[in-house]
Structure formats: structure tokens, C-alpha cells
Amino acid sequence: MAEDNTTFTLPDLGEGLVEATVLEWQVAVGDRVERNAPLVEVETTKSAVVIPSPTEGRVVTLHAEEDEVVPVGAPLVTFAVTVSDEAPQAGIVGKVPTEEAKPARRVRLKPPTD
């Protein structure tokens, strides 16, 4: 198993917002975080929200200080994530058909005969 760094950027918080102010970090450099754990509280012109962690990993870098304005798409935090060959990969849920199935019943429409 190896570690790989991945950077999480400030997501689009909707309603045409283009930036957010970091109010309070819920994590510190070196902390291990779980996916969906509170990561950072930010404030926009509309409200204050807590952004959850998008992944499980160790916090390597916090790219913004508290009270700093961060534009949407700018780096927010870098994680060191464990990469394993045995870890499940994202993909299609369910069964992918290998060939198109033929319909079980076929309806034929014929004009009425007089």
C-alpha cells in the first residue's frame, strides 16, 4: 500500500457564489480524517456552512488561513490517502449486459381484415 496526495478545492456552493471566507478549520495538519467528517466552516454572502471531508486520509496541507477569502476552485486542503490494489474502485453499480437482450414477447399489429 502506498500514499498518494490529493488536493481538495473549494467546491461551488451554489447560487452564483464565487468565494467563501474560512471561519474555522475543524482539522489540523497531521490529523487523520474520515470521509464526511467536518473539515472546515466557511462563510459566504448568504450563510455559514461546514464542508465535510471528501475522502479519508491524513491532512498534509491547509491552503488557507482562518479569515482568508478563498475563490471557488482554489486549493483548500491536501490529503495523503492510502492507495491499495485491493481497495474497491468507483464504477458502475449493478450488472452490465454483454449483449442486447431480445424481447420476450413481440407484439404484431395487423390491419383488420374485412
Write out pLDDT tens, residues 26-71: 999 999 999 999 999 999 988 899 999 999 999 999 999 999 999 9
Q: Tell me the C-alpha to C-alpha distance, in Å, between residue 63 and each of 16, 25, 48, 76, 89.
A: 23, 11, 19, 5, 28
Domain limits for position 36: 2-83
The reported pLDDT for the residue numbered 106 is 61
Asked if residue 89 belongs to a domain, the reply is: no
Question: Does the structure show a pLDDT above 60 at 91?
Answer: no
3-state secondary structure of 47: coil
Q: Which three cell numbers stand for residue 48?
A: 455559514
Q: Is residue 72 part of a domain?
A: yes
Does the residue 49 lie in any domain?
A: yes
Q: In whole numbers, what is the pLDDT of the chain averaged over residues?
A: 84
**How far is 12 from 18, CA to CA, in rounded Å?**
7
Is 110 among the domain residues?
no
**What are the residues facing 4 on neighbouring strands?**
81
Specify the number of domains making up the chain.
Answer: 1
Report yes or no on 97 lying in a domain: no
Structure confidence at residue 2 (pLDDT) = 72
In a domain, 45, yes or no: yes
